[in-house]
Amino acid sequence: MLMRTLCTAATLTGLVISSTLFANEKLVLYTSQPNSDAQQTVDAFQAAYPDIEVEWVRDGTTQLMTRLRSELSAGVSNPDVLLIADSMTMESLKQEGHLQPYLSDERDGYDADLYDPEGYYYGTKLITTGIVYNTGAEHQPQSWQDLLGPDYAGMVTMPSPLYSGAALIHMAAISANPELGTDYYDALHTNRTEAQGGNGGVFNAVAAGTKPYGIVVDFLPIREAAKGSPVAFVFPEEGVSAVTEPVAIMQDSENLEAAQKFVDFVISQQGQELVSQQGYLPARSDITPPEGFPERDSIALMPVDIEQTLAQEAELKQRFSDLFGG
């Protein structure tokens, strides 16, 4: 009897240990989202999947990739999932064999050009690049060509593709656009357009009136205009470029099922509604854009060949550097 009791106790203890060990799934996320956005994304995902424990690391895309590549070179792959700024970085990781494909059922709500056809990465939002102007400025530009006119000489500022992934993709999109072409940046240089580091500096210069016009990502001026900043954002007639803040699963993910659930969530209707609530243009066309944005189907997106842009990255950066300096 005693032996049976001990065996039963041992069995129950084993079950308790087993349930403790396996009660919760784990997910490791590396993201370049702003801290508040990352926290909201993780909180919403955990509300949908309370049994999944999320450990997340947040930094800028460049710093995050430096960390990741250092880990990979050491034979360690910590993250299960990446959620970072641009698809060029994802394409590079894909070509190097660091990502794995996943054909999520949620992709049915997406335009085919917003995700990798084999499912290696999916865009989660559209952060477009257009024109911002100070509402006290003399003119209200409506096209990319407007910025080349004499009224804008020395009046325009823009981010540098040497520092900004969005600016690099924008340069590739402009160069490939038949209405604008590779000579467009030469014309900007001729018109004394000023280049500086990132989008934040461009926005601050236009908001302060230091430069009345700028080339910048959409959410900064749209969000700040709603708070009273003297700026307005324009989606130019020829179209806009966009970075898509893609999500992808690492090749060596140790928590694959949880990683797939995370991908499903961020590109689902629920996840995309969160994107809109955060003040960004959702990648899915069936989600209402946030306040200050036009209807999704009214925004013309300039196509960008990501593989080609990745192959031309050094050439594009050198061309920009030759024109505007480092």
What are the domain boundaries of the chain? 24-124+244-293, 127-242+302-324
Full 3-state SS string of 177-226: CCCCCCCHHHHHHHCCCEEECCHHHHHHHHHHCCCCEEEEECHHHHHHHH
* Residues with Cβ within 8 Å of residue 169, at least 6 apart in sequence: 86, 88, 129, 241, 242, 243, 304, 309
Q: What is the DSSP letter of 87?
A: H
Confidence of residue 14 (pLDDT cuts 50, 70, 90): very low
d(CA 24, CA 55): 13
- CB of 176 closer than 8 Å to CB of 303: yes
Tokens read off for 116: 């990798």
User: pLDDT (tens digit, 9 = 90+) per residue, 17-45?
Assistant: 333 344 479 999 999 999 999 999 999 99
Question: How much is the pLDDT for 15?
Answer: 36
User: pLDDT (tens digit, 9 = 90+) per residue, 82-135?
Assistant: 999 999 999 999 999 999 999 999 999 899 999 999 999 999 999 999 999 999
**Model confidence, pTM:** 0.87
Question: How much is the pLDDT for 24?
Answer: 76
Question: How much is the pLDDT for 60?
Answer: 87
Question: How much is the pLDDT for 61?
Answer: 87
User: pLDDT (tens digit, 9 = 90+) per residue, 207-231?
Assistant: 999 999 999 999 999 999 999 999 9
Which CATH number among 3.40.190.10, 1.20.1740.10, 3.40.640.10, 1.10.10.10 corresponds to the domain 127-242+302-324? 3.40.190.10
Indicate the fold that domain 24-124+244-293 takes in CATH: D-Maltodextrin-Binding Protein; domain 2 (3.40.190)
CA-based radius of gyration for the chain: 23
In this structure, which amino acid lies at residue 30?
Answer: Y
Q: Report whether pLDDT(9) > 60.
A: no
